[in-house]
Structure 1
Amino acid sequence: MTSSTTWQLFWAFLRVGLLGFGGGPAMIPLVRAEVVTRHHWLTDEEFADVLAIGNTLPGPIATKMPGYIGYRVGGVSGCTAAVIAIILPMIIAMIAMLSIFSRYRDVGWIRGMGQAVVPVVMVMMAQLTWDFFDKSKAALGWLTSTIMAIVAGGLIYWLGVHPGWVIGAILLAALLRPKGNKKAEGSA
């Protein structure tokens, strides 16, 4: 592992940390852009796996993903660089913004700043959702992907099941799936 890789990881995740307004979920499309599109450290499928597993583990996704990706690309020093890079802007911004907000919280344009970011984050999350749905369609077909999305949405949003349990159940089902089905599908 070279020091240039460590610096690449640091700068990639520093950009995410600087531009990732809205917290961990808002950072996911930015992480994908750096890790998959720009640096090609992961494929889309690998990124989706990291995201799925990261969502099942406790703690903030904004540090779990950079930590794992940094470790995978650059070992312990890559993990350290990625996590420091992602949290450093958050720490500085929290101190600065909370100081400013507490002093000027009644000023209209300060309130409007937070509200104006929400639609942009919504579009970024919608784009990520569409990209994942396209990949799911390619792997499972549109009908299976749609049914799984509706069932998962129903379990998570209407019944209040934690997403980790839903993802865990799907992983368990995939592990327990009889291997004979793949051979039968391949010969058909």
Structure 2
Amino acid sequence: MSYGQLFNGFFRAGILGYGGGPSMLPLIHAEAVKKYRWIDDEEFSDIVALANALPGPIATKMAAYIGYKQKGFLGAFVTIFAVSIPVLVLMIGLLGFLFQFRHSPIVKGMVAGIQPVIGVMMAVLAYEFFSKAWKQVEKRGKTFVILLTVASSILLTVLSVSPAILIAVVLAGAFLFSTRKQRAERKVRSEASYETDQTSTERSG
């Protein structure tokens, strides 16, 4: 792994990420997971969840995490620079030109044409996440996955609940569930250890 690869990967994601924000996620996924394999799908989904819950642009937060994981603070600086500064400079340079032709039918047609492509990219990424989660959960947990997906869709689209609130609630629930499961496992191990000690004591006696 080199600084050049970090820069190139996030530069492509930044320069081609029309609309910024969530629309850049499929591009970052393609670079970080599929091409360079800096992280796997599970870690990528965890980063997306945490980045959505924190303030600020999601692309820079993900770039900072991946860059820091690969090359420390300097790697984080390179990825943040690559994903934001070139795009900012290009937009400043083209701002006058774009503003002049903002009412052009050609420009409007280009914008209208790219939006369905972004929608498809987001849908494919969501499907990949869902299919991987579906395979990982136990059979009794698949009903919960379906209910959580439906409930999340209703809360986000119908009730306009903030994604940060929804993610915070899910993370809190997952933490409580994990803590409860760990306690149950420790209790089982403790009881098994106690029974083993009792058996050993009886045999020695």
Asked if TM exceeds 0.5, the reply is: yes
SS at match of 2:43: helix
1:45 aligns with 2:42: yes
Query: Which amino acid counterpart does residue 88 of structure 2 have in structure 1?
Result: I
Which protein shows a greater Rg? 2
Match of 2:123 in 1: 126
The whole-number CA distance in structure 2 between the counterparts of 1:144 and 1:100 is 51
Match of 2:7 in 1: 10
SS at match of 1:179: helix
Q: Residues 98 and 142 of structure 1: is their aligned pair in 2 closer, same or farther, counting only changes over 3 Å? A: farther
Q: Deviation at 1:34?
A: 0.7
The whole-number CA distance in structure 1 between the counterparts of 2:182 and 2:110 is 56
The whole-number CA distance in structure 1 between the counterparts of 2:44 and 2:66 is 9
The whole-number CA distance in structure 1 between the counterparts of 2:7 and 2:54 is 23
Per-residue deviation, residues 145-168 of structure 1 (Å, max 9, x unmatched): 221111111222222221111111
Q: Deviation at 1:101?
A: 2.0
Per-residue deviation, residues 114-135 of structure 1 (Å, max 9, x unmatched): 1111011011001001001101
Task: Give the structure, 1 or 2, with the largest relative contact order (CA under 8 Å, sep 6 or more).
Answer: 1
1:143 aligns with 2:143: yes
Q: Percent identity?
A: 38
Query: Which amino acid counterpart does residue 64 of structure 1 have in structure 2?
Result: K
The whole-number CA distance in structure 2 between the counterparts of 1:106 and 1:180 is 60
Match of 2:18 in 1: 21
Larger CA deviation: 43-52 vs 112-121? 112-121
What TM-score comes out, normalization by structure 2 length?
0.82
Q: Which ranges in structure 2 are unaligned for 5 or more consecutive residues? A: 186-205
Q: Which ranges in structure 1 are unaligned for 5 or more consecutive residues? A: 184-188
Task: State the superposition RMSD in angstroms.
Answer: 1.7
Q: Residues 106 and 159 of structure 1: is their aligned pair in 2 closer, same or farther, counting only changes over 3 Å? A: closer
What TM-score comes out, normalization by structure 1 length?
0.88
Match of 2:99 in 1: 102
